[in-house]
Amino acid sequence: MSAPVDPTTTPAWEKLTQLASDLRPDLRGWFAADPGRAERFSLTAGDLYVDLSKNLVDDAVLAALVELGEQVGLAERRDAMYAGEKINVTENRSVLHTALRRPRSDSLVVDGTDVVVQVHEVLDKVYDFANRVRSGEWKGVTGAQIKTVVNIGIGGSDLGPVMVYEALKPYVQAGLECRFVSNIDPTDVAEKTADLNPATTLFIVASKTFTTLETLTNARMAREWLLRKLRDAGSLDGSERMDADAISKHFVAVSTALDKVAAFGIDPANAFGFWDWVGGRYSVDSAVGTSLAVALGPDNFADFLAGFNAIDRHFAEAPLAENVPALMGLLNVWYVNFFKAGSHAVLPYAQYLHRFAAYLQQLTMESNGKGVRTDGSEVVTETGEIFWGEPGTNGQHAFYQLIHQGTQLIPADFIAVATPAHPTKDGDADVHELFLANFFAQTKALAFGKTADEVRAEGTADAIVPARVFPGNRPTTSIMAPALTPSVVGQLIALYEHITFTQGVVWGINSFDQWGVELGKQLAMQIAPAVAGDADALAAQDASTQALVSYYLANRARS
């Protein structure tokens, strides 16, 4: 793979530097002077209608951003990713999450193997399993039907499944429920299993590597809970044979390391594989989504995958100037590098998307929080933003103050759907319409603000006028879709995957490794003996860690 282009040496960067220094943001004036602005800066991708017009750009800036995409080789890098080139250089891996959602009729041969065939073999196995659980054909050890599926995983083996489960609640089969255990805080597994009937509970242990401390610890605790509860209920006789039978009927696994799954005691027949070319944070559309296939059903899961694929095709085929993920990624570069924006808000006006920002935090920050480029050299610009957000209108009553009147520039994406899952009235008022009025109002307020004259004209006392002025020119992108369907959720995820990719290409970084999470894991293993009371291990720690661990040892109450 060729060395990354230094974006700051491109003619487009020079142009953007000049444009940024000349820019006098004036969304009011720009809209007033240009009746075609909204239409010209609005695009569609799949079912998504995306309005970029309230961003701090004019035609020249957008053109220069597109040139930047061209000059850093965005299209070539995208094509290399889609073709299975080993663009994850530090792990020497292909990056092929886009293959996970290719239709069965496609073919993609990488290193002599048609990965689309592999993908559909696993999907068929997942769908068969999902159908058996949904129909009640799959029975627990007592012969009872499964009612609760508990996914045990963390990071990419948790955040995607939780987020999508929450987003698509209306599609969950009646009588089935999913829960998600991730944290190694023992509270998590204790709370999630407290009211469960082991006879009707099925655990999915999801871990790409099947070595993750949190997941394996939680899986062992769940296994112990299952056997203990079943024994207490008289459903098991304590024999190894019956224990193994119970485990095989109540535990399945998702992993790329099927040998380790077998070592855990899970029947390989009940394990769903994927491949090292799927990054954890890009894996919800692989077998990692097995809990979703069970809860939502194979047809809905297939629609979910088709949604990703629609955006994959758009990203592959649309010219850069009309390419929504590319433009949104380039706009993020514009704000991070030319306006020093340090964070980016994602504000879904859809309560069902309440875990979307948390999901995006791993996708974007584990991908683009990097300080070296693909050739090992230091980055030449700022990289990565802090992604955050909460569903509207809750955020409005919490942190929007800072977005409207604070001193930091916080680009924000607003997401809404036209048709609600629950059409409800409050008297004569359609509640979804009240909700959407807020969605429309916020981007308008952020863009156009409120001048001192307007505040004064409302009769505000002079002394208070400054506090009530809204500066405006706060950039937003509005994303709308017809409804929150499985396909639309897939489209939204793929959109942000490709936005993230675009930014990574401009910055010349590897968006697909995550070495930055390793040191803390290693140190936890070194500190664990000290926490368990080993004096030598404690003495080997730095002074601050020693004091903190000593506080713990002195204050831990044991019953």
Contact range with ligand F6P by CB under 6 A, out of 95-103, 152-160, 397-405, 479-487: 152-160
Comparing CB distances to ligand F6P, the nearer of 155 and 384 is: 155
Q: How far apart are the first and last CA of the chain?
A: 59
Comparing CB distances to ligand F6P, the nearer of 84 and 155 is: 155
Tell me how far apart the alpha carbons of residues 12 and 34 are, in angstroms, rounded to a whole number. 25
Distances (CA, A) of 100 to 84, 171, 491: 12, 22, 14
Residue corresponding to tokens 């959602």: 101
Would you state the structure tokens that stand for residue 318, as one six-digit string? 């649309």
- Minimum Å gap between C-beta 149 and ligand F6P is 18
- Minimum Å gap between C-beta 375 and ligand F6P is 23
Q: In which region does residue 150 sit, left (phi positive, over 0), alpha (psi from -120 to 50) or beta (all else)?
A: beta
Comparing CB distances to ligand F6P, the nearer of 366 and 497 is: 366
Would you state the structure tokens that stand for residue 516, as one six-digit string? 């930055």
Contact range with ligand F6P by CB under 6 A, out of 92-100, 151-159, 300-308, 481-489: 151-159
Q: Give the number of C-alpha atoms closer than 13 A to the C-alpha of residue 498, restricted to the C-beta side.
A: 33
Distances (CA, A) of 406 to 44, 399, 400, 402: 32, 10, 9, 4
- Minimum Å gap between C-beta 437 and ligand F6P is 38
Residue corresponding to tokens 């050299």: 377
- Minimum Å gap between C-beta 356 and ligand F6P is 17
Q: Which helix (H) or strand (E) holds 159?
A: helix 159-167
Contact track, ligand F6P, 281-320, x by CB under 6 A: x---------------------------------------
Residue 393 touches ligand F6P, criterion: CB under 6 A: no
- 152 near 218, Cβ under 8 Å? yes
Number of neighbouring beta carbons within 10 Å of residue 139: 15
Tell me how far apart the alpha carbons of residues 193 and 206 are, in angstroms, rounded to a whole number. 17
Query: What is the footprint of ligand F6P within residues 197-236 (CB under 6 A)?
Result: 207-209, 212, 215
Q: Report the residue from 110, 116, 154, 509 that binds ligand F6P according to the rule CB under 6 A.
A: 154
Query: CB under 8 Å to 139, separation ≥6 — which residues?
Result: 145, 146, 249
Comparing CB distances to ligand F6P, the nearer of 188 and 303 is: 188
Pick from 262, 289, 292, 252: nearest CA to 274: 289
Which position among 67, 214, 366, 385 bears the catalytic label? 366
- 421 near 353, Cβ under 8 Å? no
- Minimum Å gap between C-beta 540 and ligand F6P is 24
Query: What is the footprint of ligand F6P within residues 403-462 (CB under 6 A)?
Result: none
Beta-ladder partners of 203: 150, 251
- Minimum Å gap between C-beta 261 and ligand F6P is 12
Comparing CB distances to ligand F6P, the nearer of 182 and 300 is: 182
Tell me how far apart the alpha carbons of residues 284 and 338 are, in angstroms, rounded to a whole number. 33
Comparing CB distances to ligand F6P, the nearer of 95 and 538 is: 95
Query: What is the footprint of ligand F6P within residues 55-114 (CB under 6 A)?
Result: none
Comparing CB distances to ligand F6P, the nearer of 279 and 297 is: 279
Contact range with ligand F6P by CB under 6 A, out of 155-163, 196-204, 261-269, 334-342: 155-163
Would you state the structure tokens that stand for residue 114, as one six-digit string? 């048609």
Query: What is the footprint of ligand F6P within residues 465-524 (CB under 6 A)?
Result: 514, 517
Which position among 39, 121, 397, 425 bears the catalytic label? 397
Residue 366 designated active-site: yes
Comparing CB distances to ligand F6P, the nearer of 182 and 476 is: 182
Tell me how far apart the alpha carbons of residues 74 and 72 are, in angstroms, rounded to a whole number. 6
* Residues contacting ligand F6P: total by CB under 6 A: 14
Contact range with ligand F6P by CB under 6 A, out of 32-40, 45-53, 154-162, 385-393: 154-162
- Minimum Å gap between C-beta 471 and ligand F6P is 39
Tell me how far apart the alpha carbons of residues 559 and 390 are, in angstroms, rounded to a whole number. 39
What is the rounded (10 degree) CA torsion for 25, 28, 30, 32? -170
Comparing CB distances to ligand F6P, the nearer of 182 and 323 is: 182
Q: Report the residue from 157, 364, 393, 473 that binds ligand F6P according to the rule CB under 6 A.
A: 157
- Minimum Å gap between C-beta 369 and ligand F6P is 12
Distances (CA, A) of 26 to 22, 23, 54, 549: 12, 9, 10, 54
Query: What is the footprint of ligand F6P within residues 347-376 (CB under 6 A)?
Result: 366
Number of neighbouring beta carbons within 10 Å of residue 14: 12
| Three-state SS at 274 | coil
Q: Report the residue from 4, 140, 280, 298 that binds ligand F6P according to the rule CB under 6 A.
A: 280
In Å, how far from its chain's centre is CA 420? 22
Tell me how far apart the alpha carbons of residues 91 and 421 are, in angstroms, rounded to a whole number. 42
Q: Report the residue from 155, 289, 325, 384 that binds ligand F6P according to the rule CB under 6 A.
A: 155
- Minimum Å gap between C-beta 163 and ligand F6P is 13
Query: What is the footprint of ligand F6P within residues 532-551 (CB under 6 A)?
Result: none
Beta-ladder partners of 345: 388, 412
Comparing CB distances to ligand F6P, the nearer of 84 and 156 is: 156
- Minimum Å gap between C-beta 280 and ligand F6P is 3
Query: CB under 8 Å to 485, separation ≥6 — which residues?
Result: 303, 307
Catalytic residue list: 366, 397, 521
Positions that interact with ligand F6P (CB under 6 A): 154-157, 207-209, 212, 215, 280-281, 366, 514, 517
